[in-house]
Amino acid sequence: MRSEFPPPAKPWRGENLNRIKELPGLTQKERMLLAFKAKGTVCGSTFLEMHIPRYAARVADLRDDGYDIVRVKCPYRFHDHGRQIASYEMRGRR
Ligand SMILES: [Zn+2]
């Protein structure tokens, strides 16, 4: 099955995050999918910034929807949250 989420060619840009944060009328899952599309790997702290406090539960929902999402160590070295917060990598759709 084709992957809808190839690794992003461009680095994450803040304006994209702000746009996704503010998009009205979208569900949390839809905004998370946009973040994965833009970034490939999304940190839990980013989901918190997007006002999705129960992001782990939403990731479980997305897995139920058929998305292949794995928990990974946060790759963003400028994040200062230590090891408590993991990131999630979107590998495509089953
Ligand atoms: Zn992080």
Chain segment 24-40, per-residue pLDDT in tens: 788 999 999 999 988 89
Over 60: is that where the pLDDT of 7 sits? no
* pTM for the model: 0.78
Q: Mark out the alpha helices in the chain (DSSP H runs).
A: 14-22, 28-39, 44-49, 55-64
85 alpha carbon to ligand 1 midpoint, in Å? 6
The average confidence (pLDDT) of the chain is 83
Share of the chain above pLDDT 90, in %: 54
Distance 72 CA to ligand 1 centre (A): 10
CA 47 to centroid of ligand 1, rounded, Å: 10
Tell me the pLDDT tens digit for each residue of 37-51: 888 999 999 999 888
Q: How far is the C-alpha of 72 from the C-alpha of 36, rounded, in Å?
A: 14
| Ligand 1 midpoint to CA 80 (Å) | 7
pLDDT band at 52 (very low <50, low <70, confident <90, very high): very high
